[in-house]
């Protein structure tokens, strides 16, 4: 399902008379159906706020978000969210956790069981259906959270730093699992991250936001072939990483917009 941002801005006002805080300003972006897009930017630039607007959890101050051509005013049944925090219910087994949303929708047990089994298989947790969260590693618990969203058959999957609490090796492994799932489902993924390596590993386009108020500073096309390992093409990988660091402001190295190996699809003037 296509996702479109039309001049989206968000300002937070204070009840105590303090100055208002502009979080986002004039976000214009179109994400094609089935596309995997990562959002990068400095802390406080409005990445999570943008995700919450898509999820219908916040309203923009101006502009609008369109999902399949229709404005988003509230949570949409075809949009699912995975947050960074462990969201599993400790008193429910893996299968019961994954089934929760379907239970809330009143889906019949036979249909629910089939959908849960399929989702658990997608995230590689077959054999752990009867385990409780305390019996699982952090990475496995996050797989449960992903399965709980996939079982709802989302057209758009919103992910807000979902692997942020995991170690680097586990993040990479689950990232590859996520790519496998995405290839199987072809849902649209909007992925917020602080990790440049994670963005390069996962996304086909990488959107860089400026410091607050968040504006689109650059959009990079990621043409590295998967799996995106630095050792496969160290020169191209290094050019992309250097370009992202420059866009975010982590380095003073000059970015060459004419480098044929990696060229921004769009750059702020």
Task: Report pLDDT digits (tens) over 254-268.
Answer: 444 444 444 445 444
pLDDT in tens, 13-33: 876 667 788 999 999 999 999
Distance CA 25, CA 237 (A): 31
pLDDT of residue 227: 84
- CB contact at 8 A, 23 and 214: yes
In the beta sheet, which residues pair with residue 188? 156
CA distance 121 to 116: 8
- CA–CA distance, 13 with 99 (Å, rounded to integer): 39
pLDDT digits (tens, 9 = 90+) for 158-216: 999 988 888 888 888 889 999 999 998 899 999 999 999 999 999 999 999 999 999 99
- Mention the CATH class of domain 1-12+21-78+155-228+264-269: alpha beta
Domain layout of the chain by residue ranges: 1-12+21-78+155-228+264-269, 87-153
The pLDDT of residue 26: 96
Q: Are 127 and 114 in contact (CB under 8 A)?
A: no
End-to-end CA distance of the chain, in Å?
Answer: 30
Distance separating alpha carbons of residues 211 and 223, to the nearest angstrom: 26
Average pLDDT over residues 41-65: 93
Nearest to 190 by CA among 140, 155, 218: 155
Looking at residues 92-100, what average pLDDT do you find?
96
The predicted model gives 70-98 an average pLDDT of: 91
**The model's pTM:** 0.86
Strand order of the β-sheet with 70-71 is: 21-31, 3-12, 62-67, 70-71
The Cα angle at residue 79 between residues 76 and 85, in degrees rounded to 5 = 115
Query: Across the chain, what does the average pLDDT equal?
Result: 88
The DSSP bridge partners found for residue 191 are: 38, 159
List the alpha helices (DSSP H) in 16-137. Answer: 47-54, 94-104, 109-122
**What confidence tier does 38 reach under pLDDT thresholds 50, 70, 90?**
very high
Query: How far, in Å, CA of 209 to CA of 246, rounded?
Result: 12
Q: What is the pLDDT of residue 17?
A: 62
Q: What is the pLDDT of residue 258?
A: 44
Instruction: Look at the block and give the residue holding tokens 């298989």.
Output: 121
Q: Which of 47-51, 131-135, 245-249 has the least mean pLDDT?
A: 245-249
More confident residue, 103 or 259: 103
Q: Indicate whether 11 pLDDT > 70.
A: yes
Note the pLDDT of residue 249. 83
Q: How confident is the model at residue 251 (pLDDT cuts 50, 70, 90)?
A: low
């Amino acid at each position: 399902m296509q996702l479109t941002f039309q001049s989206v801005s968000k300002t937070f006002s204070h009840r105590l008379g303090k100055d208002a805080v502009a979080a986002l300003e004039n976000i214009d972006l179109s994400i094609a159906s089935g596309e995997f897009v990562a959002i990068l930017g400095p802390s406080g630039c409005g990445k999570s706020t943008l995700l919450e607007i898509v999820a219908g959890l916040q309203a923009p101050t101006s502009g609008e978000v369109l999902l399949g051509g229709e404005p988003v005013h509230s949570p949409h049944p075809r949009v699912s969210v995975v947050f960074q925090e462990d969201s599993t219910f400790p008193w429910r087994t893996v299968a019961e956790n994954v089934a929760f949303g379907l239970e809330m929708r009143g889906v019949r047990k036979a249909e629910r069981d089939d959908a849960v089994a399929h989702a658990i298989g997608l995230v590689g947790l077959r054999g752990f259906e009867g385990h409780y969260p305390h019996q699982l590693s952090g990475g496995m618990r996050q797989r449960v959270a992903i399965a709980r969203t996939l079982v709802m058959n989302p057209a758009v999957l919103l992910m807000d730093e979902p692997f942020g609490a995991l170690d680097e090796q586990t993040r990479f492994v689950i990232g590859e699992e996520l790519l496998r799932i995405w290839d199987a489902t072809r849902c649209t993924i909007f992925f917020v991250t602080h990790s440049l390596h994670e963005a390069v590993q996962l996304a086909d386009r990488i959107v860089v936001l400026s410091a607050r108020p968040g504006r689109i500073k650059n959009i990079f096309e990621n043409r590295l072939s998967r799996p995106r390992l630095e050792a496969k093409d160290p020169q191209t990988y290094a050019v992309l990483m250097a370009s992202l660091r420059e866009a975010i402001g982590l380095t003073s190295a000059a970015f060459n917009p004419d480098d044929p190996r990696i060229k921004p699809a769009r750059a702020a003037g």
